[in-house]
Structure 1
Amino acid sequence: MQLGFVTAILPDYTLEEVLRTAADIGYDCVEAMCWPPGKAERRYAGVTHVDVSRLDEAGIAEVRALQEKYGVFISSLGYYPNPLGGAPESRQAAVDHLHRLIDASAALGINTVTTFVGRDKDRTIEAQWDDFLATWRPLVDHAAEKDVRIGIENCPMRFTADEWPGGNNLAVSPAVWERMWTDIPSPAWGLNYDPSHLVLMQMDYTRPFRDYPERMVHVHAKDLRIDRDKLDRHGVFSHPGQWHTPKLPGLGDVDWGQFFGHLTDAGYHGPVCVEVEDRAYEGSEELRLRSLRQSHDYLRQFIV
């Protein structure tokens, strides 16, 4: 396995500055954010470290040269929109950009794209399943043609008022994943697996890579702390912001020794990228850098 981080936590850095920082700390790789340049839609969105809309042969050569210069590779091109929700034009723009990511990932020799499936938060899963198939079959086919794998993150995206009632991501549970893979039976896609989301949903976060080892495309390392007193007061059907807090690895409820023990047993040898969403470390550039150093030092004991 290789230890990396998601570059969204360094939004003002250039790709070279990100790779230099990763090398200085001791990371092996980064998941490079590739949002279309422009205003952020939400927290951690709108970050562009590789602009795939302008990636010509000179740009490809530059990205490759920077990876070689710093000895840090790009594990995936990341972009997390909602291709199934919102206005038709925004959905289409997301789909078009995902196609560009697939082409860029192939051209760069990265061969991995990490993203969300999306969801119409106001409809049931059953009511929008045909829309899901119509959107994702061409994307998965395109990825297969380009020898690229798509890793879908399992985040429920149901944290803010404008994400309720259903959330903005279909791919939240094993039951949904299995249906996705049955109806689009391609090895070109699987999970960008984040254990913290199963902690939030009171589920066994080691089961997915035991049950679906062949679908582990990419892994996020993010922790989460559940405040049991607040959960007992508000209940699981309340807004989860009332009783959970994203944390750095080692500061929440994930048992990382157990996590990596099962991940190793499952035969996973790919990237594990720290995703910093801990507000205690967002107040300044120094705190963000400290979060990356602290996460590296903690997780390196599990990845040699």
Structure 2
Amino acid sequence: MPVASFNPNPMKLGLFTDGLPDMPFEQVLDTACEMGIEVLELGTGGYSCAPHLDMEKLLHSAEARKEYLNAIESRGLKIAALNCSANAIGPGERWASHAPDVMNTFRLAELLGVEHVVSQSGLPAGSPNDETLNWVLHTYPPEMMDVLKYQWDVTIDFWSKAADLAKKCGVKTIALENHPMNMVFNVSTLMHLRNAVGDIIGLNLDPSHLFFMGGDPMMIARKLCEEKAIYHVHGKDTRLNDHIKGLECFELGAYNGPAVDRVWNYVAVGYGHDHLWWKEFFATLAMGDYHGPVCIEVEDPSMPNNLVAIQKSAKFLKETMLS
């Protein structure tokens, strides 16, 4: 009996350039090439200070767009996605710029010929009268169900309008990151929004958040590949400090507190989970016919600097990705 062959499309190693915010744009491009990076994910606004992209200039100047794209393409690189990780539905002035940033990202994507945008679903307050974000993780007391209903109404309303604009701009996919403090953070919440808005909505699968939230990235990859709902992947890892996790369950300390005292820390890829885990993860994605980018994102307090963390992550991913 002949053995069935399996020939997955190769995934592209990418870099989310926000990890090098102090490095000039063209130096970032040269550094990416030196590491074997093939595609770029570029921050446009929202939470990002957009260190390597001037949104207003690129929106209004064809010459600026031509020079920008030439700098990228002349080095053999491509733009995999624009990233506007944001809370476009947050309450009050704190988040007021985020919705316009998301919408302008779609407009810029059209002008740059980019078909994929990465974002976050965002998180509203618990009612029209609240001014503070409210991430519901338990449905007791019963009033929390009313909070969720209100929040989903707000979320679906915004992303329905956003998706309409994205389609008009030629954007084919909006990949929402499974990030904490967001309405979309797991399979059921993604599918709830996707079913309401349409299949332009999919997941930016970031394993690092799932590790500390208690999810299983491989199970999620398998399930959402069946739904053809994974549009982007982040190469990012987390190390759990089990001796602290067993006592505290969750991390409620300051994000920039001492790493040694935390339940978990983001780390360079391979410093939280080994080669075997990542090889199985990529095999799961490949068998599910995912052939998009895997973009390195780093926030490792144990490394000398982000460049070192990115270099180590790139080396590790080249050893574990299917190509």
TM superposition score category, shorter chain reference: 0.7 to 0.9
Alpha-carbon deviations, 1:90-128, whole Å to 9, x = none?
A: 544211111111111121112111111110323643231
- Deviation of 1:273 after TM superposition, in Å, equals 0.5
Give the Cα separation in 2 of the matches to 1:239 and 1:12. Answer: 27
Instruction: Report the residue type matching 1:61 in the other structure.
Output: K
Return the match for 1:74 from 76, 79, 82.
Answer: 79
Q: 1:185-204 residue pairs with structure 2 within 5 A? A: 186-204=198-216
1:47 aligned partner: 50
Instruction: Report the residue type matching 1:68 in the other structure.
Output: E
Deviates more, 1:213-222 or 1:46-55: 46-55
Change (3 A) 1:125 1:18: farther
Q: Is the 8 A contact 1:248 1:276 kept in 2?
A: yes
2:38 is aligned with 1:15: no
Q: Is the 8 A contact 1:29 1:73 kept in 2?
A: yes
Aligned length: 280
Give the secondary structure class of the aligned counterpart of 1:147.
coil
- Deviation of 1:262 after TM superposition, in Å, equals 0.2
2:267 aligned partner: 247
> Given the two structures, how large is their TM-score scaled by the length of structure 1?
0.86
Instruction: Report the residue type matching 2:102 in the other structure.
Output: L
Give the Cα separation in 2 of the matches to 1:122 and 1:288. Answer: 31
Give the Cα separation in 2 of the matches to 1:51 and 1:240. Answer: 31
1:63 aligned partner: 68
Give the Cα separation in 2 of the matches to 1:280 and 1:34. Answer: 27
Instruction: Report the residue type matching 2:49 in the other structure.
Output: G
Alpha-carbon deviations, 1:227-279, whole Å to 9, x = none?
A: 11111111248669631111111110361011111011111111100110111
Give the secondary structure class of the aligned counterpart of 1:245.
strand
1:159 aligned partner: none
Change (3 A) 1:280 1:237: closer
Give the Cα separation in 2 of the matches to 1:9 and 1:176. Answer: 28
Give the Cα separation in 1 of the matches to 2:94 and 2:306. Answer: 31
Unaligned runs of 5+ in 1: 157-166
Percent identity over the alignment is 28
Give the Cα separation in 2 of the matches to 1:276 and 1:236. Answer: 21
Give the Cα separation in 1 of the matches to 2:111 and 2:191. Answer: 30
Give the Cα separation in 2 of the matches to 1:64 and 1:20. Answer: 14
2:195 aligned partner: 182
Q: Is the 8 A contact 1:147 1:188 kept in 2?
A: no
1:84 aligned partner: 89
2:37 is aligned with 1:27: yes
1:173 aligned partner: 186
2:148 aligned partner: 125
Return the match for 1:154 from 170, 178, 203.
Answer: 178
Q: Is the 8 A contact 1:35 1:51 kept in 2?
A: no
2:163 aligned partner: 140
2:316 is aligned with 1:298: yes
Give the secondary structure class of the aligned counterpart of 2:117.
strand
Give the Cα separation in 1 of the matches to 2:115 and 2:251. Answer: 39
Give the Cα separation in 2 of the matches to 1:244 and 1:221. Answer: 17
1:107 aligned partner: 111
Give the Cα separation in 2 of the matches to 1:216 and 1:173. Answer: 12
Unaligned runs of 5+ in 2: 1-10, 125-132, 136-146, 256-261
1:225 aligned partner: 239
Give the Cα separation in 1 of the matches to 2:51 and 2:149. Answer: 34
Instruction: Report the residue type matching 1:26 in the other structure.
Output: G
